[in-house]
Chains A and B, each alone.
Chain A
Amino acid sequence: MDNRFDVELVSVTKRYGTTLAVDGISLRIPRGTYCCLLGPSGCGKTTTLRMIAGHEAVSDGDILIHGENVSDLPPIKRGTAMMFQSYALFPHMSCLDNVAFSLKMRGVAKKERHTRAREYLELVHMASFADRLPAQLSGGQQQRIALARALINRPRVLLLDEPLSALDPFLRIKVREELKRLQRELGITFIHVTHSQDEAMALADLMVVMEDGHIRQAAHPREVFEHPVSPFIAKFIGSHNVLRLNQGPVAVRADRCRLGSAEDGPHVHGQVIAVEYQGAMVRVAVKTDAGDEVSALVPDQMFYRKPAEPGDPATLVWAEQDTHALAEA
C-alpha cells in the first residue's frame, strides 16, 4: 500500500450516455497538497471533483484515497468532505446546527456535538454567529460556516467547488489567504476547482490544467508557467504569447517581450492594435503579420521613453533563452 499519496486517480472516466465528460485521467496527489483543478468551463474539472466526492459515479477506472479504493463507497465513507459552490447551507438551521449536522447524523448527543461545533466555529472565527441563520450572514461569513461544516468530520481530503466565485474581488483575495493558511495548519489535502488561473497560481502546490476531459499538464504553478507544454496551456494560463515560428509553435512570456528592432534578436513584425496602461506596466497589443495577436508587457518608464500608438508598425523582440518550444497543438 502506497501511503505517500492522499488521492490517486487511475484512468478515471465519466460517460454521460455517449458523451465523454472525463476521459481516462490519472493523477497522484501527494500528502498535504493544495491541489487546484483548473480549466475552462466544460473541461470536466467539476465532474472530476464530484467523482472524488462520491456524488457522481465513476464510469470506469478507480479512485484511491490513502491507498484505499473508494470508487464504490458512499461519500461519508471516503474520508472526503465537500464545500459546495453556493455553500448549500441548510436555510432552516442555525450556523451551529449546520456545523453540527454530520455529528447529529451519527447520533452524537446534543451537548457533545454542540461543543465540538463551537470549536470549529472558533477555527473559522465565527463563534459569535452560532445562533444566526445562514440568511443573516454575508457571503464571506456563509463560506466560513460551510468550511467549518465540512471540516468537522476531520476529512482526509477537502473538496472545494469554485469556493471563491460568489465573493467580491477584495474578499476573494482575503479568503484565498485564509484557505491557504487553513490548509497548511490542518496539513490535509485540499482539492480546489476553479476557472481562474490567478487563484490557482496563488494557492496551488499542484496545478492540474484540464481541457476536454483530459489532464493537459499537472505540476507546480511555477513549472506550468515557465514550461507550458502546449499552446493551449500557454494561452490558458495567460501572460504568454504563442507564436508559430519555423521550428514550430513557441511560447514567450509577455513580460519578456519588448518593442524594438529586428537586430535585437528573435522577433516578429506587426502593428500595434491597442495600448493599455496598467500602472507599473503598459500592455502593448500587437497583431503580427501572420495574423497572431500577441502582447508585450513593458515597464511604464521604458514605454514612455518611446511611446507607441495604435496603428504604428511595431517589432516585438525577446531574448533567445526566453523562447520556449511547445508541443504541436
Chain B
Amino acid sequence: MTSAGLSSILPFALRGRPVAEPGKRRTTRLPPWLVSWFQVGPLALILVVVFALPTALFLIVSFYDYDRMGIYPAFLLDNYRELFTTPATWRVYASSLKFAVIVWAITLFLGFNISYFLIFHVRSAVIRTVLFLLCAIPFWTSGIIRTIAWIPFLGRNGAFNQMLMGLGITSHPLTFLLFSDFAVIVTYVHLFTLLMIGPIANSLSKIDPALMEAAVDAGASRWRTMVDVVIPLSKTGITLGSILVFTQVMGDYFVVRQMSGGQSASIVSMLSTQIQAMQYPPASANAMVLVIFVAVLVAVMMKVVDVRKELVK
C-alpha cells in the first residue's frame, strides 16, 4: 500500500501561517447581484419606459382640466367626482364584474377538470401532448376571428339553431343565443379557458401521483383526496389562471361590444368612447379607477398564494 510511505509526511495543522498578504480580498469577480442587474437591466428599462411612466402620466392627466379645445394642467378631482356620480359607471362595473365572476367560475371548472383529466387520466405521454395541442391550437387564431366565429354559429339561421331544429328539440330558432349576455359569456369561455388549463396543468404535473395513492391508502375518498391533497397542491396554478381570466374579462373591450348587441357595455369600451372624443382627463380618471380595481383584485389573489416563491425557485 502507498499508505506506508505517506504516513511519514502526514499533514499537520498550520493554522495562522500567512502565505499571501491577507486582507486584500478578491476583487477579480463582479458581485453576483451586479451580474443579475446587467441581465435584468433591459427588461427593467423597457417596462419602466413603456409601462410605468405612461401609467404615471395618465395618473397625472386624470387631475387635469379639459374642454372641447384641449386639456390643461390642473389639480382637480372633478373627473373622479363625475365618474363616481354617474350611474352608468356603477352599472358598467357591476356588469363587468358579473361577467368576470361567471366566466371565472366556468373556466375554473372546465380548466381544472380538463387539466386533471390530461395529467392523471391520460396514460400515454404522446396522447397527452396531442390533446394539449388540440386545446392550444385555437389560441393561435386571432381573438377577433374567434369572436366573430360565433356569429354564424349562434345566429337565427346559425349552425346551432339548425342543429337543434334538425334534431327536433325546438320548432323555431332560439333568439337569445346571439347578441346577448349568453353570447358574451360563451365567447369569453371560448377565448379564455386555455388561460386556466395552462397554469393548472403545470401545477398538477408537479404532483407526485404517489401522494394521491398515499391519501387513498390512508382511507381518503376520491373526493377527500381531491380537496385535501390535489387542490392545495395546485393552488399556484389556480391562482395564476384566475388572475389571467379575471383581468382579461375586466380589460375586455371587443367581445362585449361585438356580442352583446349593444345591451351591455364594458368598462374599457366606455373608456375608449371617451378617448375617441379626446376627453383625455375623464378617460384617465376612468383608467386609473380600473387600474386600481384590477390591482386590488390581483393583490388579494396573490395574497392567497405566494406566486413569486412558486415561480422563481
Query: A residues near B, CB below 8 A?
Result: 4, 8, 10-11, 24, 26-30, 32-33, 57-62, 64, 69, 71-72, 74, 184, 205-206, 215, 218-220, 222-223
B19 engages A64 (CB within 8 Å): yes
Give 28 pairs: A residue, B residue, CB < 8 Å, sorted on A. Answer: A4-B9, A8-B14, A8-B19, A10-B14, A10-B18, A11-B17, A11-B22, A24-B15, A26-B14, A26-B17, A28-B14, A30-B6, A30-B11, A33-B6, A57-B29, A60-B22, A62-B19, A62-B22, A72-B26, A72-B28, A74-B28, A205-B2, A206-B11, A215-B13, A219-B10, A220-B6, A222-B3, A223-B7
Chain B residue nearest to A34 in the complex (CB): B2
Distance in angstroms from B18 CB to nearest chain A CB is: 7
B22 engages A61 (CB within 8 Å): yes
A62 engages B7 (CB within 8 Å): no
**Complex Cα distance A220/B2, Å?**
11
Number of cross-chain contacts by CB at 8 Å: 67
Taking CB atoms, residues of chain A closer than 8 Å to B9 are 4, 30
The interface bits of chain B over 10-36 (1 if a CB of A lies within 8 angstroms of the residue's CB, else 0) are 111111111110100110110000000
Q: A28-B14, A60-B25, A218-B11 are in contact. Are A206 and B6 (CB under 8 A)?
A: yes
Taking CB atoms, residues of chain B closer than 8 Å to A219 are 10
B11 engages A28 (CB within 8 Å): yes
The count of residues in chain B whose C-beta lies closer than 8 Å to any C-beta of chain A is 21
**Complex Cα distance A33/B7, Å?**
11
Query: B residues near A, CB below 8 A?
Result: 2-3, 6-7, 9-20, 22, 25-26, 28-29
Could you list 8 further interchain pairs (A-B, Cβ under 8 angstroms) beyond the known A57-B26, A61-B22, A220-B7? A10-B18, A11-B17, A26-B15, A30-B6, A62-B18, A69-B20, A219-B10, A220-B10
A26 engages B2 (CB within 8 Å): no
Taking CB atoms, residues of chain B closer than 8 Å to A26 are 13-17
B13 engages A71 (CB within 8 Å): no
8 pairs of A and B residues whose beta carbons are closest in the complex: A28-B11, A26-B14, A62-B19, A69-B20, A26-B15, A205-B6, A57-B26, A10-B19
